[in-house]
Amino acid sequence: MLVIPAIDLRNGKCVRLVEGRLDRETVYSDDPAEMARRWEGAGARFLHLVDLDGAFAGKPQNRRAIEDILRAVAIPAELGGGIRDTETISAYLDIGINRVILGTVAISNPSLVEEACRKFGSERIVLGVDAKDGMAAIHGWDSTVTKTAIELALEMKQLGIRRVIYTDIKRDGTLMGPNIESTKELALKTGLAVIASGGIAGPDDIRAVRELEPYGVDSVITGKALYDGRLDLAEALRICQE
């Protein structure tokens, strides 16, 4: 199982939000590229990047910081936030992003997901399912729609999606622990490869997610626990290799 450090970008800085709220932001670094090097040096084999400004604005906002990160490390990275058209997807893949995450657009323009999977390959396009009380959330988590996370994932599977990042918004940045039951249910009912995200607080949570590996959960994203020192990346990687 992969342990994937998160680098959330806002105004060119590395930050973390609580429950996706802009008024609950902590800035961890003015140099996201240096943070990326830190995680690579600690053993990370993949990075999770989020353009938070892009998620709220609906278009890319932190390209320079993203390019700096890609130049700083040799490991692959996935990216989400404000990606709404094939031109943006193509541009990010061209500069070295390994996987592009589509979230809001999966609901507002599902045909784009189908086109992207066909044009770029399903291994390069990941569905981002952000859920609040089981319902899919959009526009930087500002609102929910009348569609469950599982319903959305199943619809996108029909359009070519093979991998999904599942985030329980109420747990993201809270250190409350991941939503194990919902993550397992999503994996079981969709048959998709699942990346668990949201709420990781320490080693025990990594162990709990690892128990889901037989069901198709093959990666876990962690952010605040790493930045606050509650989770040591090297220890998390050891747990996943036990």
Summarised one tens digit per residue, pLDDT across range 176-200 is: 889 999 999 999 999 999 999 988 9
Q: Which is more confident, 191 or 224?
A: 191
CATH of domain 2-241: 3.20.20.70
Share of the chain above pLDDT 70, in %: 93
Among the options 51, 130, 172, 205, which is catalytic? 130
| HEC profile of 150-171 | HHHHHHHHHCCCCEEEEEECCC
Among the options 8, 53, 168, 205, which is catalytic? 8
B/e letters for 87-107, b = 16+ CB within 10 Å, e = fewer, are ebbeebbeeebbbbbbbbbbb
Using DSSP, how many helices (H) and how many strands (E) does the chain show?
Answer: 11, 12
- The residue type of 151 is E
How much is the pLDDT for 172?
61
* 232 counts as catalytic: no
Residue 116 has φ and ψ, to the nearest 5°, of -65, -45
* 133 counts as catalytic: no
- Kindly report the pTM of this predicted structure: 0.92
How much is the pLDDT for 226?
94
